[in-house]
Structures are given as C-alpha cells and as structure tokens.
Structure 1
Amino acid sequence: MTTPTASFSGRTVLRVGYGALQLERLHDRRGEAVALLRRAVELGVDHVDTAEFYGFGFANDVIREALRPADGVLVVTKVGADPNPGGRVSLRLAQRPEQLRVSVEDNLRSLGLDQLPVVNLRRLDSGPGLRPEGDQVVDLDDQLAVMTALRDEGKIGAIGLSSVTLDGLRRALPAGIVCVQNAYSLVSRDDEDMLRLCTAQGIAWVPFFPLGGAFPGLPKVTDEPAVHAVAESLGVTVSQVGLAWLLHHAPNVLLIPGTADAAHLEDNMAAAEITLDAVTLAALDAVESRSNEVPIG
C-alpha cells in the first residue's frame, strides 16, 4: 500500500505528521527528545506541529536542534497563547494583535527560522479549553489584519486557524487560510459542516485530540466497543483504528499525534497503512458523537 499524502500549504506531505506537545515529558532527557524527533524524520514525518508554550519553549528548542534544512520538514506553530511558568494553567492567553506579533517573533527566535512556514491563530471560540475574557476578547478581523501584515512582511508563510467556529472560518477565508486545527475525533464530530467546507476549499483539516479524552468529561475513542472490535479483527491497536478512521473520513485530514515514546511513534505512523473497508467504516461511523465543549480555567 502506498503511504497516503495530501496537500498542505502548497506542499505535498505525508498525512501523518508529529505533534510536539509531548516532547515536554522528556524535558530532563533532552538527548532522547532530539533522538525521537530524528526517528520521526527517518519514518517519513515531514510536518511537525509546535508552539512556544509547549514545555515553556522546550519543544521549539528541541525542534531547532533536531531538524535540519535538508530534512524538508514543514514546521507549523501557533499564536494566541504564551507560556505561563508557575501558573495554575501552563499557558496564558495572548489574543491581542500586539501580542500575536510578539508571539511570532518569539517563535522565530526559538526555532531559529527567518520565516515560520505556517502559523495557526488559536482563537479559542470552540472546543475544550480556555475561553477569552476581558481584553483578550478580540475581534477576528483585527487579528487577521496583523497576521496578514506579518505574512506580507515575510515573517510567516501562511495562516491557519485553531479552535475556530464555522462562522469564523467563513469570515477568514478571504485571508487565505491553509489549515484548521479543531478538537475532532470519531467520538466528537461537532464540526462536520466545517470539515466539509475545508474539503471543498482545499484547506487541510488537522484535528487535535484525535482520540478524544484530553480533559476529564470528554469521550474517548479507546473506550468504544466498536473500536475495540475493529482493532481485534485487524490485529492493530484501538488508537490506530481511531487515527485510521480520521484518515478515511476525509481526504484533507492530516494527523499530528504526539508521543514521547519511539514505539508509539512507529504505531502512529503505521496507522496510515491501515485499510478500513466499507462495512468497517459503517460500523465506526455509527459510533455516537458527543460534544467536546468542556471549558477549563
């Protein structure tokens, strides 16, 4: 079976990349973190998702050390929140236009890049997580104005959106959106209409929490009997089934599963090789979808 690819910001990439959030688990074992990322490249990973607030900058530092220009890896980062060392929550919102600009500069510096290939604007309008309050409630148009200015200046290559609503995406389309990152999985399919719009517009759909269950109260793909039945019949793991379903569900889905374990990394990459027939897909499609709207903070 040929490893599936898709278009992302004008490039053809493998449909399974790597999310760098879990690198912070290796904070005291930096060498292992670098080796893990090198292993990801060896396995074919050619797009990596990160943020300055992942491990208070640790993930970006590891990416800077581990990746080489010759690897041709597309680095995707995000703005809209910054590290919050010592806080009850590890990040603080940074939604104001001037904060977005500073966050871009911080990512450029920590990643050692002259341009950030793709930057996701983390809106926090939907899905689980923090919600903006006070001066952090900022109009999308004001944010897009600074993002497009940064693109015009050459500091970012392309703009994505994260935790956005369908209306927000529609408003942002004229700015040239290349990807959407929302919480989405087999058991939490709130954004089906948005996924269809992205498919029609050629926008990459990059679900975070692809197996659900990131916060208490969220449904988990790995708890579903139908998923266990499919995994047993195919001789794969339940997590692999959840990832494979996403890849089968729409052609513009790109995955960025994260892990701090090399064996788990290999399992995640192997999910792209799993074939789900029509009967199996129908059984998985029949799994109940539950809301992932769980605010925290």
Structure 2
Amino acid sequence: MSERDAARQARLQEDLLDTLDEELEMEIDDHLLGGGEGISDEARETRRMYFRELFRLQGELVKLQDWVIETGHRLVVIFEGRDAAGKGGAIKRITQRLNPRVCRVAALPAPTNRERTQWYFQRYVAHLPAAGEIVLFDRSWYNRAGVERVMGFCTDEEYDEFFRSVPEFEKMLARSGIQIVKYWFSVTDEEQEVRFQSRIADPLKQWKLSPMDLESRRRWEAYTQAKEAMLERSHIPESPWWVVLADDKKRARLNCIHHLLGQVPYHPVPHSPVSLPERVHHAEYIRHPVPEEMIVPNVY
C-alpha cells in the first residue's frame, strides 16, 4: 500500500470514529470513553478532552438561551461553507441541548416557482426570530452568492443586485434589533475529497450526496472565486463574516461555539428553585388497562 493510500485509509478510519462519536455524544461517559479497540492513548485523551469541552460549552449555550428568553434578544446565526464542510455537525451540537421552541434551524429547500417571482429575501424573512428566539440558518440568502452563481441559477443582473441589497438588508435587520452572526466553514480540497469518499463508502451517509454536491466538487475553483467575492462584498460592521477552519471537525465545532458565545453579551439568569409538587390522588380514580394489541412488542 502506498503512503498516500495508507494516509487516506487512516483518514477514513478517523471519519468512522467521528461518526461513532456523534452517536455516543448524548450518552457518553468515562466508562464508554475507556473502550475502543485500536485507539491510541493520545487519541483517547483527545476525545475525552473534546467531550468535556463540548459539554461545558453546551452548558454555556443553555445559559445563553435563558438570557435570550429573559431579555427578548433576537439572534440569527448563518452557516455557510462548501458541501461536507461540517456546518450540519456544528449546528447539531449547538441545538443538541436547547429548547427547539427557542432555538430552531431554518434549512430552506430550493425555491418554488412562486418564490422565484418574489422579492429575493422574502422567503427568508418569514423565518427571522421573534423576541426571545434564536434562528440558525443552515445555508441562507447567501445561496445567491454561492450555488446560484456557480450553477447559473441566477442572472448577472440578479447577482449584482443581491450584493447591492444584502448590506442594506442586514443593516435594516440590525437597526431593528436582530443580531446577525455569519460563519463560513472552510475546508481544504483534500479534506473535502476524503469526506465525499467517506459518504460514498457509507450506506448511512450516501443520502447526504446529491447530484449538486458532486457537481460542486468538479467546480471547486468556481466556488472558491464565488466565496472570495462574497466575503469581500458582504463583510460589513453590522454583520461581519467569521471564517471557521474546519478540516478538523471537532476543533471546528468547539471553536465555533466558543466564538458564538463571545459574540452575545449574555450572563446567567437567576432561577427560582424547582420543586416537584406532590402527586394528587383521588380514591375514585381507576386506571384503565391498555389493550394488549396496542402495545409495542418487546423485541429488545
């Protein structure tokens, strides 16, 4: 096996471990972390550190959520980046322990024929937060600066009009009290290839690969040019861009969450002590049995 093949095999193994980590994160503990065949002590300790820090940051996100509710703050977080850059993984870790009624994800599909005739920003406006809400855009109105530009889904006139409008649109949102934080997840050419190959090899991940994703791989350089133009033309004081170096997915998640927490002036909100009330019993209450045919079989 050549050095390149060996390196690729090692990266695929790392990606498999990362997938396993994703499934373990909700119930991980020191006992589980002690397992794992073929993992070096250094790698195991790195995973321990990752989980400890992730849980700590998620605890801070809960405090942020409480503050947002208390103050009526409105927060929009935009996640952009190449396919397989890790946007979805970061979003999952942010929302994992938050109330979905407070923190929700907006991942809009391709526009309908009707939406294509509307003001470009119109379908996004409906998803903006009310007081006490956080909205995470998994891709956003910057589709026009990226995929639509590269794939030819918009005209040159529509593209130029977007960049004339988007700074004013975001300034208007900022003046109305909506905070906007914009992240670009950046991966190298080589890392994206590994992640695409991993998706091709894993039946549980193949659904993530669309024909558009595969075409984006071929048009890497066109996407680079579009990204550079986007960052240059829409980086404004009211809503600056922040670039997350995402070749290491775990570090990228931690760095993104840590940075996001630093963008919001939150503080712990005091809560009244919670006590469980006594269950009320009524002598005349009779619980009716559930019919046997309605019970899910105990297969496990």
How does the TM-score come out when normalised to structure 1?
Answer: 0.29
Structure richer in helix, relative to its length: 2
> Which has the higher Rg, Structure 1 or Structure 2?
2
Higher normalized contact order (CA 8 Å, seq sep 6+, divided by chain length): 2
How does the TM-score come out when normalised to structure 2?
Answer: 0.29
